[in-house]
Amino acid sequence: MPARILIVEDEEPLTLLLRYNLEAEGFEVDSVARGDDAELHLRDHTPDLVLLDWMLPGLSGIELCRRLRTRRDTERVPIIMLTARGEETERVRGLATGADDYVVKPFSLPELIARIQALLRRAKPGHVAGLLAAGDLELDRTTRRVRRAGAELHLGPTEFRLLEFLMQAPGRVYSRAQLLDAVWGRDVYIDERTVDVHVGRLRKAITPANAKDPLRTVRGAGYAFDETFARS
């Protein structure tokens, strides 16, 4: 059963963008535009995770977060705060109120999805697949092992995270900047060409002689996990 995510956000274009991308990842999505309406919704429906804007009409996100943490049915529901407030004091306040993570707008969608999946793995491990499989390639998130045609492959930690991220959405093209955000994190300042180096290492590790390359380079755009390989 897919995880259900509640978006509490009053910016309709952002809500639509989040819904589209989350549903494409296989999540079920509900959305509410006001804080007070969200509180009423949560009395009858308990999601697996909440994406919560700080500035909301009716009831602020920070106050809604505080109230959810006092209720038995929602005290353990993962909450990611979405906000334009990037100051350290505001991040500390949000986390101290009960948010599990804090993402500053504008944010990277691939990184946000990776954060959602990481929280769900901890809170609801059954909702995030422990094994990713495509063609004859298997990635086991639990044991941190990768196999191709039954043979174990040896990947470095960065190459493992890179492969894991690309395998989650075969066919989707990610720019170097998106891969840096999702795999290395937004707070790490390194050259975008570093991605090329690690993609090269990953290709070498997962593509034995005469085997099909599972990765696709899109000139001028970035990289993707080949969707035709995933279907083979």
Quote the number of domains for the chain.
2
Residue with tokens 């949560």: 42
CATH of the domain at 160: 1.10.10.10
Given 56, 91, 123, the domain boundary residue is 123
Cα dihedral 160, 166, 170, 174, rounded to 10, equals -160
Long-range contacts, stretch 118-124, CB < 8 angstroms, 24+ apart: 119/49, 119/78, 119/80, 120/3, 120/48, 120/49, 120/78, 122/78, 123/48, 123/49, 123/76, 123/77, 123/78, 124/3, 124/48
Q: What CATH code is carried by the domain that includes residue 109? A: 3.40.50.2300
Q: Among 84, 105, 123, give the residue marking a domain's end.
A: 123
Say if residue 207 is in the same domain as residue 223.
yes
Residue 149 token pair: 């045609």
Q: Structure pTM?
A: 0.59
Are residues 167 and 90 both part of a single domain? no
Q: Do 98 and 142 lie in a common domain?
A: no
Shared domain check, 111 and 137: no
Contacts of 18 (CB under 8 A, 6+ apart): 7, 9, 29, 31, 51, 109
Over residues 189-211, the mean pLDDT reads 88
Lowest mean pLDDT among 12-21, 60-69, 136-145: 136-145
CA torsion sign for 180, 183, 189, 192 is negative
Range of the domain at 155: 131-231
* 114 shares a domain with 11: yes
The verdict on 45 and 98 lying in the same domain is yes
Q: What is the average pLDDT score of the chain?
A: 86
Same domain for 102 and 189: no
Tokens of 174: 């990610």
pLDDT tens digit string along 74-122? 999 999 999 887 677 777 877 888 899 988 888 888 889 888 988 888 7
Q: What is the mean pLDDT of residues 185-195?
A: 76
DSSP conformation class of 174: B
